[in-house]
Structure 1
Amino acid sequence: MNVRRIDPHAERIRRNRLHPRHQEFVHPAWRWTGPNGVTRIDPHSLGAVGPNGIRRIDRSGAVVEAQPPTSSPIESGPSRRMVVIDDPAGFVMVVPECPEGRLSDHDRDLLGLARQLADGQSLAVTAVTFQGAVAGLEDAGADRWIDLSACVEGDCYDPESRLAALVSVERAMTPRHWLFADSFPGGGDLGRRLAARLSRSSSHGANARAATRVWQIAEGLGLSRAGGRQDIQRELPLILLALPECAEPVSETRHEARPISVDAAGSMSSDMTAVGVVDLGRVAVDPQQIPLAQAPFILSAGRGIGDWAGFHHAAEVLGASEGASRVAVDDGNMPRTRQVGATGTFVSASCYIAVGISGAVQHLQGIAKCQRVVAINRDPGCDMVKRADLALIADGDAVLAAVCARLGKPMADVTTTESRGEHYHDAA
């Protein structure tokens, strides 16, 4: 099944004749008027060939695109414009959190905000990561990349070692700004630690006082949320802790993300025990006890599920939080607290697996911020399949049973009384 996908960003540029890249996206019209006033028609561009091989002709004068039936059904815009900064006048440091080793939406917003600070001043946006390999830095707007994974031990909680490494980078490169995600205990904690450390230095002083809850910058000033009070406006300090959606992610340019090395060996001497910080490891948490809006991995069910005991077993095997469509909740198969969508809970999971969900508008609105969406459905033309990053056209019950068997925990090994097959009803 070939599903035609359209890039909404390319469509907006194509409709905007004032956009500087408008001509890259438009296609020549099939009819035009020559210099002598005679109407000319290009027979090769008259209409377009659909996926079934039938030519469709649009005589309204709209722009059409001829597409042979053997070509790819996926419409792709032109390649991004490459930006290279060989000799930067300074640096803007961005410390992305990179949950699960990849950039999150909040990280991309931070890099977009950094580009607003760097563009027009020949500054290089530099991503500083504590992971060995992070994909997508080039498309997200990073001109340089500093890998500090050797300064920390694995994925343990080691704020002092990370702080010492960032101080070494500050001394070696003296950047114009540091950008962190204002979240706890990630960038929000590390950014405040760096601000407290640098404020002791006479060279920084009050400029090292961090601006928190930043959501917008303009003309050298930053706006910070202040709860129910009026937003706080101040000159941009050295360290900024930004909120989600603080800027548009980079979408039109591609950058080098050139690796550079900084001597941060001194950070390895940090002793967490000396400062009273001891990492006792991760604590196992029942995925069903995590609030649905904060769950990183969700297995969601719709009316296409017939074996609910198998669905609950698959969620337990995969370690996923359970979600449901409105129809599944109305049928009494899932509690109302597990409903995903505009009429339920908005979720922002790293991975969202929709099993037997057709994809109503309200449900698609609720999963708009999910990073990866996987659809398992028998209908190849449903809206959820069109929305998904990966689609499996198959029976949901059979796929979940096969996954459990592949992981060595088939449903046959679990007694019926141990599986959760309750029927839920709303309180009167």
Structure 2
Amino acid sequence: MSRPRRDPRAQRASRSVASATARPRFDLAATLSKRGRTRRDPRASFAASRIGGHARLRIDRASHSVGLVGGPGREEAVAFEANVRIVDEPAFTVLAVLGASNGRLSRFDRQILGAGRLLADAGEGGGAVIAVLPQAADGLGEAGADRAIIRGGGDFADVAGRAEAFLALDRTLTPRHWLFAENGPEADLARRMAIRLKEPILTDVEHLTARQAVRASHGGLREEAGPPPRLMTIQEDRVASYADRPCEARLLDAQTVSADATDSAIVESEIVPGDPSSMALAEADFVVSAGNGVSDFDAFHRLAAALKATPGASRVVCDAGLMPREAQVGASGTVLSADCYFALGIAGAPQHLQGIAGCEHVIAVNTDLHAAMVERAGLAIVQDAQKVMPALLHLLREGET
């Protein structure tokens, strides 16, 4: 072999330090891994994560300190984590139209930004992703947005007004790509823009790369593939979300970039939310469900009304006649796509878990720590639902006063 043979005894002797005891001592700062990187000191990492001022040992598990001997400490690690990706002069732009309902990015919104990031990073010279949304939302930088344009008011209340505003954005920014969600108003808006711009549009994109966009045709028997056009609509769960360094998400002045927008023929319009108590489960954003662990259904209905959520139930409850059949959640009932699902006293049968697979956030209340619903939930309360419901109602009443 061309490499010199390692002498472990010599390396051990070089790291030895003087000690007052008979036990040998070594300098861990001189210890390197096989790849030449500084070896991690677990004692230093443990000491750095300890929280003082408590009689009982407290450990800060949220700390990002790497705990390396001779390496960066806590402050340097935090500075490294806060390193923001900045694109000052992009060669081109990609506009991602987001729903961002209630000022929060949905999973679908993050996927649209991930698709924009994919196209922007692969282009020659590097591009920037501009998020266009009706109101401010948190997490735009982490989701991959370099810029953000807030467009509220009437032009987001009706599709015709939004189309006019977006045509003005197109004339001002001349983006290389427009990305829309294949979902409700955004899908309608994309088709309106294609007609007004007299450009081709690729809808229902199932697979997207920097060089190719693919969608199904002929009932899924064939595929259409080609270079990504300027206008595209993307299906949900087809593109991965952005998961790299946070971007700048610099806010742009909407009046500056679209001052020449044409006035809409619609004078005033607004979106009237539906009544959660009578809304279909498939259309609800927030669902509260009762399971076999709920016996006080009066408190359950009061809690659902106070939370402004749509009431649902497990199959056991519906079979017992305690809730109507249309309220059943699961593979044999209604498959949900809600933003939040609140399960009270539901163990989590396989068919029920299939029905909530599309829910972004799941909260579970159950007395069994090892219940399948508790494992599925992002937040779990291990307690009797009969005690949790009045406690939540009490907290909601206190919040109103």
Aligned residue among 272, 285, 289 for 1:282: 272
CA-to-partner distance for each residue in 1:177-207, whole Å, 9 max, x for gaps? 00011122x21111111111112xxxxxxxx
DSSP-derived class of the 1:114 partner: helix
Deviation at 1:225, TM superposition (A): 2.5
Equivalent residue in structure 1 for 2:110, among 88, 91, 108 = 108
**Would you say 1:138 and 2:132 are equivalent positions?**
no
Partner of 1:264: 258
Q: 1:193 corresponds to which letter in structure 2?
A: R
Q: Which one-letter code corresponds to 1:293 in the other structure? A: A
Aligned match for 1:318, one of 307, 327, 330: 307
1:192 to 2:191 alignment: yes
Gaps of 5+ in 2: 1-5, 13-39, 51-56, 67-80
Paired residue secondary structure (1:190): helix
1:388 partner letter: A
Q: What is the distance in 2 between the residues matched to 1:265 and 1:288?
A: 42
Q: What is the SS of the residue equivalent to 1:265?
A: coil
- 1:71 alignment counterpart: 59
Displacement after TM superposition at 1:268 (Å): 6.8
Whether the aligned pair in 1 keeps the contact of 2:210 and 2:228 (CA below 8 Å) is: no
Rg larger in structure = 2
Q: 1:142 to 1:283 in 2, by over 3 A?
A: closer
Note the 1:189-228 alignment, pairs <5 A: 189-199=188-198, 208-218=199-209, 220-226=211-217, 227-228=219-220
Q: Which residue of 2 aligns with 1:309?
A: 298
Name the structure 1 match of 2:8.
36
| Match in the other structure for 2:150 | 147
- Cα distance between partner residues in 2 of 1:271 and 1:378: 57
1:242 to 2:234 alignment = yes
Task: From the superposition, tell whether residues 285 and 363 of structure 1 become closer, same or farther in structure 2 (CA, over 3 Å).
Answer: same
Summarize the Cα distance change of 1:283–1:70 in structure 2 as closer, same or farther, 3 Å threshold.
closer
Give matches, 1:365-384, under 5 Å: 365-379=354-368, 382-384=371-373
- Match status 1:298 vs 2:291: no
Q: Which runs of 5+ in 1 are unaligned?
A: 1-33, 41-62, 200-207, 410-428
Match 1:354 to one of 340, 343, 356: 343
Q: Once the two structures are aligned, what percentage of the paired residues are identical? A: 37
Q: Which amino acid aligns with 1:195?
A: A
The Cα offsets for residues 253-303 of structure 1, whole Å up to 9 and x where unpaired, read as 311111223332333732315xxxx7375264463441x233211001122
User: Compared with structure 1, are the counterparts of its residues 286 and 125 closer, same or farther at alpha carbon in structure 2 (3 Å cutoff)?
Assistant: closer
8 A Cα contact 1:352 1:374, kept in partner: yes
Equivalent AA in structure 1 for residue 154 of structure 2: E
- One-letter identity of the residue aligned with 2:119: L
Q: Tell me the SS of whatever aligns to 2:337.
A: coil
Q: Is the 8 A contact 1:162 1:267 kept in 2?
A: no
Q: Distance in 1 between matches of 2:158 and 2:170?
A: 19
Question: Structure 1, residues 74-110: CA drift from partner, whole Å, max 9, x if none?
Answer: 6979848743222211001101111222111111111
The answer on whether the counterparts of 2:172 and 2:258 sit within 8 Å (CA) in structure 1 is no
- Tell me the TM-score normalized by structure 1: 0.68
Q: Aligned pair 1:338/2:327, yes or no?
A: yes
Local SS of the residue matching 2:233: strand
Deviation for aligned residue 1:343? 5.3
User: Which residue identity does 1:139 align to in structure 2?
Assistant: E
Give the TM-score, by structure 2 length.
0.72
The residue correspondences of 1:391-406 to structure 2 (distance < 5 A) are: 391-404=380-393
Task: Give the distance between the partners of 2:7 and 2:115, measured in 1 at CA.
Answer: 48
Q: CA RMSD in A?
A: 3.5
Pair 1:93-2:95 in alignment = yes
Aligned length: 336
